[in-house]
Amino acid sequence: MVGSWTSSSALLLIAIAAIQSVRADTPSGRANHGCALLRSTIYCYGGAERTVAGATTALSSNLFYSLDLSEEKSISDLAGAWQEYTAGNVGSNFYFAMTAVPELNIFVIDGGRGTGQTGYTTQTPTVTFNASGSGSWNTGINPGGHPLVDTHQAVSDNSSTVYLCGGRSSDINANTAGPMQFPTQMTLFNTPQSTWSSTPATLRSVSSQTRLHHKAALGIDGRTIYYVGGIYPSRPMDASGASYYYSHVNMTDILVYDTIQASWSTRTTSGSIIPTPRMDHTLTTKPNTGELIVYGGTQLDSSLPIDDYFYILDPQSMTWSNRTLGTSAAQGAGPRHGHAAVLAGNSTLFIIFGSTGDSDSALSALDIENWSWLSTVPAVVVPESEGDQQGGSPGNGQSQGEQPDSGSSVAPGTIAGAVVGAVAGVAIIGALVFFFLRRRRNQNGETVASSDDDEAVAARRLKALEAEHHSPAPPYSDIEPPSSRQFLPSYDNTAAGKPDGSSSSVSDGQVQRLVMAPVKPDGA
Ligand SMILES: *[C@@H]1O[C@H](CO)[C@@H](O)[C@H](O)[C@H]1NC(C)=O
Ligand SMILES: *[C@@H]1O[C@H](CO)[C@@H](O)[C@H](O)[C@H]1NC(C)=O
Ligand SMILES: *[C@@H]1O[C@H](CO)[C@@H](O)[C@H](O)[C@H]1NC(C)=O
Ligand SMILES: *[C@@H]1O[C@H](CO)[C@@H](O)[C@H](O)[C@H]1NC(C)=O
Ligand SMILES: *[C@@H]1O[C@H](CO)[C@@H](O)[C@H](O)[C@H]1NC(C)=O
Ligand SMILES: *[C@@H]1O[C@H](CO)[C@@H](O)[C@H](O)[C@H]1NC(C)=O
């Protein structure tokens, strides 16, 4: 009797699991992806799988996911509630720039590394995704001759203008034939008009450094963009200029762009705290104070995150502070890099995916009012003015409105849902009986214990990896062979038909690696 109940329950559970895997999922591990919040949904695109040994492979499938935040949920439920957008994507890509344009309910993706070494697979250098209705891509944007780069940053202001800054020339349209390019002008994308422009003031007027792998955030005044961290090209490796040595930007050196005056300036932080230089971190503006929150990051020639992963910059006093994040019942994101940080409302900062050495699909949420990790995430409430149509309002079920279920399959989905609903009802009863019987046998408390174990195992593992791979102060000598320095996957210039072959020091591996020059104290 018990046996037949449990086996039929198990079958029904399998049926439920199959249904669930279509509707909600945990994406595979990834880093160097992009995420944006529109209304009450987070959208994440692309990324690369990374390993501690340094391999970085662009994802080729499961590229586009969304997460509905319109209801209060536990962080563990949310982590398994991603929905894959199956009605089309724009190809493999990572190290692109991405920003939400909330007024239009769209996000913009610019540039990126495409499939990694030789290709760029999105149809155009710039695409937008319109999250209204069942969602749609616009791949028909004329690039207007703007620099085609990766590892740059995009920030949007309240007039739907996107500001693109930094990065380096990518393999798009084979424009790496010749010296590596590092844009020094701000590129402006007028999203409603789909037009491009640039401002006359160049970065060079205030700084000897251009930047890549840096991060940007718009201040609470709505007009000042802050750039923090990253690396800069310190000198070309040879006369061709096709590849460069790179150095870390000092965390005391803050670049500032004024969107109204179209001008650059630099600020230098003061005070005793100076974060370790970093790249592939995140930068988020805290809405009610204007503080800039730095999370995570890594360094050149390392696959591991840096240990001092959390800082706050006060842009008024230009001083850094740090603090220990409260953990309470929730597990925090810990040190990582290549993650995305998305602010929802005034106080919930989501830290999404990224790499602790190997890339993972972790989701965490930090309350930035009391600086503690959340185990339950409040619903994201969309202001009346933004919440047009049915989408995004609190209480919407997952089959409603903004969810990017594919447009044409909405009706079949609904029908399937009704059938499934009846089956699921029976299944749930079976499942309850199954769990009830099981629980009586096992006593309880097993899930709590296992998550503690995971944490301990992960911590031990990270320690072990650190012992193995983390050279204390990375010795950046120029004479090490390029193959051992693989931290920034570079371009296969031979594939672009580059007429070089001269530089014997790098041509053997044909993929040129970015390497770091010795850092002089002044960072020059
Ligand atoms: C987004 O799509 C909706 C239709 O679903 C359309 O009304 C709206 O104009 C589009 N927005 C943009 C910025 O293209
Ligand atoms: C947009 O931001 C600018 C600069 O802070 C401000 O002057 C302007 O009033 C804002 N406009 C709207 C519509 O919020
Ligand atoms: C950054 O700059 C500060 C002040 O200019 C200096 O004391 C510090 O050593 C520099 N740090 C690095 C890593 O170069
Ligand atoms: C903050 O940073 C300083 C060094 O800059 C370090 O000694 C201190 O332990 C850090 N505090 C926290 C809370 O991480
Ligand atoms: C954020 O804070 C501001 C100012 O305190 C408040 O007006 C606004 O309603 C808050 N927004 C949310 C979503 O809580
Ligand atoms: C932090 O604040 C949030 C609300 O902003 C609250 O839900 C949470 O319980 C607080 N956590 C702690 C540890 O006080």
Q: Is residue 180 part of a domain?
A: yes
Assess if residue 234 is contained within a domain: yes
pLDDT recorded at residue 367: 96
39, 68 contact by CB (below 8 A): no
Model confidence at 448: pLDDT above 50: no
Which ligand neighbours the alpha carbon of 345 most closely?
5
Q: Is residue 394 part of a domain?
A: no
Interior/surface letters 124-163, b for 16+ CB within 10 angstroms, e for the rest: bbbbbbbbbebbbbeeebebeebbbbbbbbbbbbeebbbb
Lining residues, ligand 6, CB within 6 Å: 326, 328, 347, 367, 369-370, 372
- Reply yes or no on whether the pLDDT at 394 is more than 70: no
Q: Note the residue count of the chain.
A: 524
Q: Do 377 and 462 have their domain in common?
A: no
Tell me the ligand closest to 273's alpha carbon: 4
Question: Which residue bears the tokens 């020639």?
Answer: 301
From the alpha carbon of 192, which atom of ligand 1 is closest?
13
Q: How far is the CA of 225 from the centre of ligand 6 (A)?
A: 30
Q: Is 259 in the same domain as 123? A: yes
R_g of the chain computed on alpha carbons: 24
321 Cβ inside 6 Å of ligand 4: no
Domain of residue 463: give its range: 2-8+419-467
Position of tokens 């004024």?
A: 258
- Asked if residue 375 and residue 226 are part of one domain, the reply reads yes
What is the rounded CA–CA span in Å between residue 343 and residue 420? 35
Percent of the chain with pLDDT over 90: 54
pLDDT tens figures, 145-160: 888 889 999 999 999 9
Residue 199 pLDDT class (50, 70, 90 cuts):
confident
Greater model confidence, 254 or 411: 254
The three-point CA angle 253-232-218 to 5° equals: 50
Give pTM, 2 decimals. Answer: 0.75
Residue 232's DSSP bridge partners are: 247
Q: Write the pLDDT tens digit of every residue in 455-500.
A: 333 333 333 333 323 222 222 222 222 222 222 323 222 222 222 2
pLDDT interval class at 167 (50, 70, 90): very high
Residue 485 lies in a domain: no
CA 400–ligand 4 middle distance (angstroms): 46
Mean pLDDT of 87-112: 95
Same domain, 377 and 458: no
Give residue 250 CA to ligand 3 midpoint distance, Å. Answer: 6
- Domain presence at residue 207: yes
Q: Is there a domain that residue 522 lies in?
A: no
Least confident piece of the model among 16-30, 96-110, 303-317, 426-440: 426-440
Closest CA to 153 of 286, 280, 318: 280
Q: Could you give the C-alpha distances from 24 to 129, 342, 405, in angstroms and in order? A: 21, 20, 11
pLDDT for position 342: 98
Cα of 142 vs centre of ligand 1, distance in Å, is: 18
pLDDT at 77 over 90: yes
Residues 98 and 245 in one domain: yes
Are residues 130 and 183 both part of a single domain?
A: yes
Give the ligand at the shortest distance from the Cα of 407: 1
Shared-domain flag, residues 315 and 424: no
Which CA distances in Å does 323 have to 295, 326, 474?
12, 9, 26
Minimum mean pLDDT among 8-22, 62-76, 417-431, 496-510: which range? 496-510
Q: Whose CA is nearest to atom 13 of ligand 6?
A: 372
Q: Which pLDDT score is estimated for 421?
A: 41
pLDDT of res. 148 = 83
Judge if the beta carbon of residue 132 lies within 6 A of ligand 1. Answer: yes
Instruction: Using the mean position of ligand 5's atoms as its centre, give its distance from the Cα of residue 305 in Å.
Output: 33
Q: Is the pLDDT of residue 15 over 80?
A: no
Pair (376, 430) in one structural domain = no
Determine if ligand 2 sits within 6 Å of the CB of residue 261.
no
165 vs 331, residue with greater confidence? 165
Answer yes or no: do 183 and 329 share one domain.
Answer: yes
pLDDT at 208: 83
Is the domain of 74 the same as that of 209?
yes
Task: Tally the domains of the chain.
Answer: 2
Q: Is the CB of 194 under 6 A from ligand 1?
A: no
What is the reported pLDDT for 313?
A: 98
User: Could you say which of 446, 467, 488 is where a domain stops?
Assistant: 467
Q: Which ligand is nearest to the CA of 473?
A: 3
Q: What is the CA(322)–ligand 4 centre distance, in A?
A: 6
Closest approach atom of ligand 2 to CA 221: 5
* 311 plus 441 within the same structural domain: no
State the distance from the centre of ligand 3 to the C-alpha of 247, rounded, in angstroms: 13
Q: Which two tokens stand for residue 54?
A: 């340094």
Q: Find the CATH number of the domain harbouring 199.
A: 2.120.10.80
Pairing state between β 515-516 and 244-248: parallel
The reported pLDDT for the residue numbered 125 is 86
Ligand 4: which of 251, 308, 311, 325 to mutate, judged by most atoms within 8 Å of the beta carbon?
A: 308
d(CA 463, CA 4): 47
Query: Is there a single domain that holds both residue 333 and residue 246?
Result: yes
